[in-house]
Amino acid sequence: MSSNDEYYTQCELRSGKYKDVAWIPNCFAEIGKKLLIDGYKNVWTVTQVFTTEKKEIINLKSRDYLKQREASDI
């Protein structure tokens, strides 16, 4: 891999009783890492780390869910 800025990792984040999954910059994708995310008052903790992809790939796939029904309905 080249520069970490080009890669994002899908992670599970928890804050109190809340849980979310998000793509975050690879440099922050470390279990136990505490994050303060813009727009949120709470601190989020990385609890699981999943796949890593190039930023360009994630941007291309980010709206694929809009075509899911078209692809899956008979």
Question: What confidence tens digit (pLDDT) does each residue in 10-22 have?
Answer: 999 999 999 999 9
What's the domain count of the chain?
Answer: 1
Q: Round to whole Å and give the CA distance between 3 and 11.
A: 19
For residue range 31-74, what is the model confidence (pLDDT) as tens digits? 999 999 888 788 999 999 999 999 998 888 877 777 777 667 65
Range of the domain at 59: 4-72
Given CA atoms 49, 58, 28, 13 in this order, what sign does their dihedral have?
negative
Q: Would the pLDDT of 1 be above 50?
A: no
Q: Read off φ and ψ for residue 42, nearest 5 degrees.
A: -85, 155
